[in-house]
Chain A
Amino acid sequence: MRKKGLTRALALALCAIAAVPAAACSTTGGSGGEAIDSSRTQVRVYHYNAGYGDKWVYELKTNFEALMADRSFEEGKTGVQVLITGDMSARTAEQWRAEQYDVLFLENPQEIYTMVTTGVLESLDSIAKVANPDDNNQTIISKMTEQQQAAYTYDGHLYAFPHYAGNYGIIYNRDMFEQKGFFLAAEPDEDTGDILISATNPTKSVGPDGQPGTEDDGLPRTYQEFYDLCAEIDAAGIDPLCWPGQYQTHHIMQFVDNLTISNLGYEQANLNYTMDGTATDLIVFNDDGSIKFEDDGETPVVESVEINEENAYLLARQKGKYDAFKFFQTILSNEDNYNEQDSIKDTRRSHVEMQQMFLENGSLGMRENAMLVDGCWWQMEADATFERMKSYDEKWAKENRKFGWMPLPQPTEEAAEAIANGTKKSTFSDYLNAVACIKSGLTDAAREASLEFLKYAYTDEALANFTYTVGATIGVEYLDVVDRSKLTYYESTLIDYINKSDIVYPISGTKTYISNVSAFMAQKKYCSPGVQDVLEAFAPYKAKNMSAEEYFIGHQNHFKGIIW
């Protein structure tokens, strides 16, 4: 009996192993991969397959292959075949060197500097600095900011182009806003004192841009207006804000980053990366370590300090950061301002579910949500919901609904005024830090074809196509050529906002930055000791009940500690 068992088990296992090589011959078992066309030159493209999806890269492939149909890069071959692979796994510079890809689209690549300095990448000079007749004689470099050029240049050569850009912010349900009248009135109602528009008081306030008759009319300009709006929405029985409980830290801390950068404005924000210049608004501390306030007891005293790489930790004192913490304290410490159940308590509530709830507002007796904190690319992720709703009724289709990217409110009336009259530009922080690059050591044909591929990808036409497909942007200058009529309402509000904003990219050529890339990410940077994030610090459910002052003071040590 025992023996039989052993023999059988052995036989079974050995058969299984023996079957493997035989089976191996028959694999990859009816694969869906594209066969290699030996009559064309291959360009192997890798892309990080996250929220932006892969639709754009397949479109790029189709268009580029058509464009190159008659062009020969090597003897005996005509045309190009683009082969695409996407995944979400991190690799070291050495692993990238070993991979069989030609063109790389990477997101948040901490290893990019090692890749550049250890020769994993090919110089892009030949396509970046030469005018392209197929693109109105523009150069790619002319579409990049100086900061971007500096960050990706090494030994005088350019090694990467910035790719898609984005960050977290507020998406508001404009259909709901219109239906419920959640717009601020130009003047409060004379009789009721109601700050929102109504039938008797229909004139909207001018909004953040200060111009009447524009799409942002009635939207909050300042923190105070935003708080007031939240209170009104809550009074209407609707949850003002929501975000996915599963990724609460990520979403909110990215939003902290975007709001901070928006407060600081381009120059002061960029100091965090260039670490060279004058910081004009560093908060002064008393001898006992508390914040020194003006006589009004509210406005912190600020000073100017020259910043360099050695003392850049002083930037933790920037008033824009304090203001942002203050904003989050005010919003988060009152659970009426947000959907506490799905955004904080339910740690399994995913981004896709939250998007669904946001789109299906009020279905099945759930509470409604007026504003969603999410990445600006959220529509791509919500595609399944849009399509399903469309199958019920055409009016729910993405094209027929109105959502809006909300301009970020400013901390003070003066700052809002400066935005309105144009003395300060709105500022947007890109956090994805996506890049496109080409690997070194390719065959002549593959290198030439890959360079052509990127050259095409950075023409105005291809860049605009990206925006039509994804509904978001690439971090170079081209937005003026985007045809707004091809965009949804949401997409055009986003593109308008980004187009008129200065964009701060989280990149720098400084040594301090390069050796601490991950410490500069929002989730690590804007922390304070003793708590994990602003949610833990301020939300009543987490029961820490910190004040923004305490958080800010703690943040000083934290920021200095993780980098210097």
Chain B
Amino acid sequence: MQKAKKVGLGQNTLKSRLFYASLVIIPTLQFLIFWVFVNFNSILLAFKVFDKSAASMSDFNWGLGNFKHWFTSASIKGMKYNYKDVLPALGVTMKSYVITLVVGLPLGLFFSYYMFKKMPGSKLFRVLLFMPSILSAAPLAVIFLNMTTSFLGGPDGWFPLLDFDKNKFFSMTFFGLFISFGTSVLMYTNKMDSIAPEIIESAHLDGANGIKEFWYIVLPQTFSIVQVFLITGFAGAFSNQGNAFILFEYSSPREITSLGFLLWNGIRDAGVSMNKMAPYAALGLIITIVVVPLTFLFRWLIEKYGWKEE
């Protein structure tokens, strides 16, 4: 990847700058209004500690009580989640991300490689792998749940491991992986198709085939896209609830409650009570403060040690 430290050739002119400015101004305004301004309240909310017996939501003190809720037993009453839930949720989050990393990502890449090699059935596989993205997760979850509970999963089912009652994490992860390939495989194959034929040919002449070809030629050439999924996956792992809601609705068994689902379900649980919403605003802020630098570090590491395109 080209890493010009300087402003690009010919871009230092007033004309270029005007061109740039005229195009970024509207999206920037949209961002300022519908993200910064709108979320400002929620940042403030994190520091508002409400009097628990207050009927009015204007009765609050500024303080760190909402943050303490997540670290100490000095918790805010009536909350669905407290400090005891944070570590297990972090565990589920990491577990999910690692599985995506070591199972989902390689599978996606191998699938793409298969199609890139135009092996039998490639076109059909590509279409079908993309299908779940079209159908969207919610109806698929309904179908999947119905099938597992009625004949697929459970002790008497065809696949006893798939059991949304006994094997929650496995079943959820399985479902998540099952529907996850669409976008990534599409992006990978599109990118692989752009690999210059000469590179592949010369590799073949050097005797690289199969896994070698994949590892030394295809993967490095695809890595710019892989990197995108690695980074967004990492960042998203902390705030997305994944498929937890569509599969488990409001019940929140600990073995599937990731940080993202904890936040999502907690906020839903808080409903209209600001005093309960506030600790989630605080938790959201904590996650942000920890994860943003981590994401940038992660990105830096990938760029430094990952494959670089020729």
**Would you call B55 and A532 a contact (CB within 8 A)?**
no
Find the A residue at minimum CB distance from B147: A348
A262 to B80 alpha-carbon distance, docked (Å): 27
A532 to B75 alpha-carbon distance, docked (Å): 20
A422 to B77 alpha-carbon distance, docked (Å): 40
| Residues of A close to B253: CB separation below 8 A | 532
| Residues of A close to B52: CB separation below 8 A | 515-516
Complex interface bits, A335-365 against B, C-beta within 8 A gives 1, otherwise 0: 0000000000111100000000000000000
Interface residues of A in 451-483 (CB under 8 A from B): none
Nearest-Cβ distance from residue B83 to partner chain A, whole angstroms: 12
**Would you call A114 and B149 a contact (CB within 8 A)?**
no
Complex interface bits, B93-104 against A, C-beta within 8 A gives 1, otherwise 0: 000000000000
| Residues of B close to A345: CB separation below 8 A | 149, 154, 165
Contact-residue size bin, chain A (C-beta under 8 Å from the other chain): 20 to 34
Nearest-Cβ distance from residue B77 to partner chain A, whole angstroms: 6
From the candidates A249, A516, A532, A542, name the one contacting B78 in the complex (CB within 8 A): A516
Which of A36-44, A177-185, A412-420, A556-564 forms part of the interface with chain B? A556-564
Contact-residue size bin, chain B (C-beta under 8 Å from the other chain): 20 to 34
A49 contacts partner chain B, Cβ-Cβ < 8 Å: no
Complex interface bits, B275-306 against A, C-beta within 8 A gives 1, otherwise 0: 11000000000000000000000000000000
Interface residues of A in 99-142 (CB under 8 A from B): 110-111, 113-114, 117-118
| Residues of B close to A532: CB separation below 8 A | 251, 253
From the candidates B77, B164, B272, B273, name the one contacting A563 in the complex (CB within 8 A): B77
**Would you call B55 and A113 a contact (CB within 8 A)?**
yes
B146 contacts partner chain A, Cβ-Cβ < 8 Å: yes
**Would you call A564 and B55 a contact (CB within 8 A)?**
no
A541 to B165 alpha-carbon distance, docked (Å): 10
Find the B residue at minimum CB distance from A116: B55
From the candidates A110, A511, A519, A542, name the one contacting B53 in the complex (CB within 8 A): A511
Interface residues of B in 233-274 (CB under 8 A from A): 251, 253, 269, 271-273
B232 contacts partner chain A, Cβ-Cβ < 8 Å: no
Interface residues of A in 542-564 (CB under 8 A from B): 542, 561-564
**Would you call A117 and B56 a contact (CB within 8 A)?**
yes
B196 contacts partner chain A, Cβ-Cβ < 8 Å: no
Complex interface bits, A521-554 against B, C-beta within 8 A gives 1, otherwise 0: 0001000000010000000011000000000000
Find the B residue at minimum CB distance from A349: B149
Interface residues of B in 57-95 (CB under 8 A from A): 57, 75, 77-80
**Would you call B272 and A111 a contact (CB within 8 A)?**
yes
**Would you call A90 and B149 a contact (CB within 8 A)?**
no
Find the A residue at minimum CB distance from B249: A246
From the candidates A117, A347, A511, A515, name the one contacting B145 in the complex (CB within 8 A): A347
* A347-B164, A532-B251, A562-B77 known; A518 vs B273 contact (CB < 8 Å): yes
B134 contacts partner chain A, Cβ-Cβ < 8 Å: no
| Residues of B close to A511: CB separation below 8 A | 53-55
| Residues of B close to A114: CB separation below 8 A | 55-57, 272
Nearest-Cβ distance from residue B247 to partner chain A, whole angstroms: 10
Find the B residue at minimum CB distance from A111: B272
| Residues of B close to A518: CB separation below 8 A | 78, 269, 271, 273, 276
A512 contacts partner chain B, Cβ-Cβ < 8 Å: yes
**Would you call A347 and B149 a contact (CB within 8 A)?**
yes
Find the A residue at minimum CB distance from B52: A515
A93 to B55 alpha-carbon distance, docked (Å): 12
**Would you call A346 and B78 a contact (CB within 8 A)?**
no
A564 to B80 alpha-carbon distance, docked (Å): 14
B150 contacts partner chain A, Cβ-Cβ < 8 Å: yes
A186 to B178 alpha-carbon distance, docked (Å): 61
A483 to B269 alpha-carbon distance, docked (Å): 42
A92 to B271 alpha-carbon distance, docked (Å): 8
* A110-B271, A114-B272, A518-B269 known; A348 vs B55 contact (CB < 8 Å): no
**Would you call A92 and B272 a contact (CB within 8 A)?**
yes
| Residues of B close to A347: CB separation below 8 A | 145, 149, 164-165
**Would you call B55 and A519 a contact (CB within 8 A)?**
no
Nearest-Cβ distance from residue A555 to partner chain B, whole angstroms: 16
Nearest-Cβ distance from residue B150 to partner chain A, whole angstroms: 7
A49 to B165 alpha-carbon distance, docked (Å): 30
**Would you call A93 and B77 a contact (CB within 8 A)?**
no
| Residues of B close to A118: CB separation below 8 A | 56
A113 to B253 alpha-carbon distance, docked (Å): 31
**Would you call A515 and B271 a contact (CB within 8 A)?**
no
| Residues of B close to A92: CB separation below 8 A | 272
A514 contacts partner chain B, Cβ-Cβ < 8 Å: yes
Interface residues of B in 127-149 (CB under 8 A from A): 145-146, 149
* A90-B271, A348-B146, A518-B273 known; A563 vs B55 contact (CB < 8 Å): no
**Would you call A561 and B77 a contact (CB within 8 A)?**
yes
* A511-B55, A514-B55, A532-B251 known; A563 vs B150 contact (CB < 8 Å): no
Find the A residue at minimum CB distance from B149: A348
A530 to B75 alpha-carbon distance, docked (Å): 18
A258 to B77 alpha-carbon distance, docked (Å): 25
Complex interface bits, A317-349 against B, C-beta within 8 A gives 1, otherwise 0: 000000000000000000000000000011110
Interface residues of B in 141-171 (CB under 8 A from A): 145-146, 149-150, 154, 164-165
Nearest-Cβ distance from residue A507 to partner chain B, whole angstroms: 14
Interface residues of A in 436-459 (CB under 8 A from B): none
Find the A residue at minimum CB distance from B268: A90
Nearest-Cβ distance from residue A339 to partner chain B, whole angstroms: 15
A542 to B253 alpha-carbon distance, docked (Å): 13
A563 to B78 alpha-carbon distance, docked (Å): 5
Find the A residue at minimum CB distance from B53: A511
Nearest-Cβ distance from residue A71 to partner chain B, whole angstroms: 37
**Would you call A519 and B78 a contact (CB within 8 A)?**
yes
| Residues of A close to B55: CB separation below 8 A | 113-114, 117, 511, 514-515
| Residues of B close to A515: CB separation below 8 A | 51-55, 78, 273, 275
| Residues of B close to A563: CB separation below 8 A | 77-78
Give chain A's interface residues, CB within 8 Å of chain B: 90-93, 110-111, 113-114, 117-118, 249, 345-348, 511-512, 514-519, 524, 532, 541-542, 561-564
A-B contact pairs, 20 of them (CB 8 A): A93-B272, A111-B271, A114-B57, A345-B154, A347-B165, A514-B55, A515-B54, A515-B78, A516-B52, A516-B77, A517-B273, A518-B271, A519-B77, A524-B80, A541-B165, A542-B165, A561-B77, A562-B77, A562-B78, A563-B78
Q: A515-B52, A563-B77 are in contact. List 13 more A-B contacts (CB 8 A).
A: A90-B272, A91-B272, A111-B271, A346-B150, A347-B145, A347-B149, A347-B164, A348-B150, A518-B78, A518-B271, A532-B251, A542-B165, A562-B79
